[in-house]
Amino acid sequence: MKLKSYAKVNLSLNVVGKFRSKKHKIESIVSFLNFYDLIYLKPTSFNKHKVYFTGKFAIGISRKNTISKLLHILDQKKLLKNQKFEIKIKKNIPNQSGMGGGSMNAASLINYFYNNKIIKLNKKELINLANLIGSDVILGINPKNTILSSSGKLTKFKKKLGLYVLIVKPNFGCSTKFIYSKVRCYSKAKYNNPKQSLLSKKNIINSSNALEKIVYKEHPKLIRIKLFLLKLSKVKFVRMSGSGSSILAYFYSKKATENARKEFKKKFSNYWCITSKTI
């Protein structure tokens, strides 16, 4: 079986406070890109799961990762009924990029196990399982354009955004835990009454990522990248995803995006970049 594990992007992100658990309350407009890791899996007769990572961004992935954590929890709860799996993941999504590569890998496996009735859970149990692995994992359960409210509520929409993107990732990543530890200011919640109008191009363009100031202070190189992207022909807006370090330039056409990629590579030949589109 081959699964596509799509990259997640935050079209907006506001930090509005903290829960009693000290975890930050955030709200976000979340979309997914036609850019993905590939997950190959098959049942095995071994007495334990086998997990492998390959591809450009497989280097540095710990033995303790979102997949090993998911499989451990499923085994503990005996939801797989002692069936073991051999899983190979080709990593195309960069690590520490703010695009939720590891979290979406776990979500993709949960989706597969759930939709194929390999694990049997009700909706509440499914949410609890995702939250045990990581806060972003729930976003990848049934990946569609999503409004995340500050209460943690997810509202999904079928509306297609039709945005083309140039994804840029410098040669360093950002620790989500560290970036959030630097948050000192909170904004007023805007998405507690989620409507499809929040997904309008006008609203998205006028939105922002509240973590950008913190990340740019820690990594001034990213300011230079953003300023360059903002000057590209036909760019509509430029925004960091999650806690970085990826920065995305958004366009309305494939041709404009491809031209932007060529211009970027002339200036920043050592930085990874790729074009894609929202799904």
Residues with a catalytic annotation lie at: 8, 136
- Is there a contact between 45 and 52 (Cβ–Cβ < 8 Å)? no
Helices of type H across the chain: 66-76, 101-115, 123-133, 176-181, 201-205, 212-218, 221-230, 254-267
How does 41-52 read in b/e, with b if 16+ C-beta sit within 10 Å?
beeeeeeebebe
Instruction: Collect all residues with Cβ–Cβ distance below 8 Å to 235 and sequence separation of at least 6.
Output: 229, 249, 250, 251, 256, 260
CB atoms within 10 A of CB 95: 15
- For 94, the token pair is 């960069």
Cα–Cα dist 249/172, whole Å: 19
Cα–Cα dist 218/41, whole Å: 39
CA distances from 239 to 12, 225, 246 (A): 8, 11, 9
CA 65 from centroid of its chain's CA atoms: 15
Query: What residues does 15 pair with on adjacent strands?
Result: 26
- Cα dihedral 99/94/88/69 (nearest 10): -60
